[in-house]
Structure 1
Amino acid sequence: MNSALITGANRSIGLETAKQLSEKGLFVYLGSRNLENGEEVVKELNEKGFQNIRAIEIDVTNPDSILKAKKIVENEQGKLDILINNAGILGVNPQTAAETSIKDIQNVFDTNFFGVISVTQAFLDLLKKSESPRISNITSGLGSLTLHSDPNWKYYHVKGAAYGPSKSALNAYTIVLAYELRDLPFKVNVIDPGYTATDFNGHSGPGSVESAASFIVKHTLTDENGQTGQYFSNDIEDETGISPW
């Protein structure tokens, strides 16, 4: 049975992604910064028939927490097939470029950017033991510099000095990572689940968590001919779902 680790998976899109991967026969590590919260969620899932999901404590901003989680996966699975870097924070609002403090911006980057790098680097050796390793970094349309520069884009006026830039940086890192792993069977992509109604945005998005998770699963469970180093968005209205960088 292939295994997957999803960070920040105790609610919203991450949780739904865990459920959908479980239904497809994967063993899923449901990453939660607070283990008790994660275990409570898994208990509820077990009662609904999900038996191949396990809560695992992982705080992406804490190196010791990441290493502990890695050791658990290594001891139980010996490898990791899928890593979905989903944990993220919005940060304080408003996020004006002129007034948002460096501390507030760094706080967002610590989770959304540096946290992803820390988790990815820690689990890379376990992923290399998989026959078809996948790394999906969950991004946002707000990370697209091309769209943010287009006054005709429907979210053109949704600007911020912390969250969007953290996702732009994540996108750039993913391009480099995909390039470095290009000669191995890795598929490394950034996936924007679209503007989804979640606690993250006060349920203001038009999309559902089911659609968002389905999009993530679709572009994660790809075969050997799948694309790598790409930017997929659930808000792009064409067959490819490819977003401009």
Structure 2
Amino acid sequence: MKKIAIVTGANRGLGLATSEALAQRGFKVLMAMRNPDKAQKQINSLKMKDLDVVPMKLDLASEKSINDFVEQVRRDYGFVDVLVNNAGILIDSEDGGNGSVLKTKAATIQKTFTTNTVGPFLLTQKIFPLMRQEGYGRIVNVSSGMAQLSTPQSASAAYRLSKTALNMVTNLFASEVQGADICVNSVSPGWVRTDMGGPNADRSIEQGIKGILWAATLPKGGPNGGFYRDGEPLPW
């Protein structure tokens, strides 16, 4: 039986590349995204490569959407081996808060947290039992170097706060493993040339997914509850 991997934000960038790479490794990949119909071209491209991918609707800003998604996964598959919480938004520039924390609005923080932190928390909370019942799971929270408390930070306050909190989500769920072969880790892909990262970023998408794939395919006894880039530990 094929292993099942869920990748959120799978319609583009790191999520799309991660989905393709996992499918190439033999996974059935459930590609979760807000608008599957708009990603038909990408889905068709992967299927033409004979890759086992399934587009599924998921809006992390909606608890009902998360519940519906998990129920469909439970009904259709019954288990999950890998969860990559990749979907995220960076909207600080919309209210001028990209340049100064003094301009960041509460609404921007709330909207960012809903998608970047609360959504992944709820999805993990509901998928985790499907892993624990099988005694196996790999959960990858795509975080950012912009979340590191050990490094002085400025600007993009909402995004930074949400990703720092996502690292705590990793910490919390890592403590729930309780002897099962489940690894929960945060991964920073670095500054990657995606729609979010922009054309001037210093890393390719291929470089960005390296650490994600590493954390998604860790061997038994692999690290749990850490923060990594390219498989190397990062200070929190």
TM-score, scaled relative to structure 1: 0.89
Deviation for aligned residue 1:186: 1.0
Per the alignment, residue 115 of structure 1 pairs with 119
* Cα deviation code 1:26-73 (max 9, x no counterpart): 0000111112123432112112x1330110100111122112211222
Matches for 1:112-151 after TM superposition, within 5 Å: 112-148=116-152
Match status 1:43 vs 2:44:
yes
Matches within 5 A, 1:30-179: 30-47=31-48, 49-93=49-93, 94-95=96-97, 96-148=100-152, 159-179=155-175
Instruction: Find 1:195's aligned residue among 188, 191, 194.
Output: 191
Q: Following the alignment from structure 1 to structure 2, what is the Cα–Cα distance between the partners of residues 175 and 67?
A: 23
Partner amino acid, structure 1, of 2:168: A
Q: Which amino acid aligns with 1:147?
A: T
Deviation string 1:134-177 (CA, Å, 9 cap, x unpaired) is 111000000001022xxxxxxx5x53211111111111221121
Is this contact kept in 2: 1:59–1:65, CA < 8 A?
A: yes
Could you tell me whether the CA contact under 8 Å between 2:135 and 2:180 is conserved in 1? Answer: no
Partner amino acid, structure 2, of 1:59 = D
Ranges of 4+ aligned residues in structure 1 off by more than 4 Å = none
TM-fit CA distance, 1:80: 0.5
**Partner of 1:190: helix, strand, or coil?**
strand
**Residue type at the aligned position of 1:2:** K
Q: 1:241 is matched with which residue: 223, 232, 236? A: 232
Give the distance between the partners of 1:129 and 1:180, measured in 2 at CA.
13
Match of 1:153 in 2: none
SS of residue matched to 1:162:
helix
CA pair 6-103 structure 1, distance change in 2 beyond 3 A: same
Report the Cα distance in structure 1 between the residues aligned to 2:199 and 2:183, rounded to whole angstroms: 31
1:198, 1:204 within 8 Å by CA — same for their partners in 2?
no
- The amino acid that maps onto 1:160 is S
Mapping for residues 197-236 of structure 1, pairs under 5 Å:
197-234=193-230
Moved more, 210-219 or 163-172: 210-219
**Secondary structure of 1:13's partner?**
helix
Q: Report percent identity of matched pairs.
A: 30
Tell me, yes or no, if structure 1 residue 184 matches structure 2 residue 180.
yes
TM-score by length of 2: 0.93
Separation in 2, partners of 1:127, 1:38: 28
Supply the distance in 1 between the matched residues of 2:28 and 2:183 (Cα, whole angstroms).
19
Partners of 2:61 and 2:19 in 1: CA distance: 21
Task: Tell me the amino acid that sits aligned with residue 7 of structure 1.
Answer: T
Q: 1:30·1:38 contact (CA, 8 Å) conserved in 2? A: no
- AA at the equivalent of 1:242: P
**Secondary structure at the residue paired with 1:217?**
helix
Paired with 1:180 and 1:43, the residues of 2 have a C-alpha distance of: 38
Give 5+ residue unaligned stretches, structure 1: 149-155, 235-239
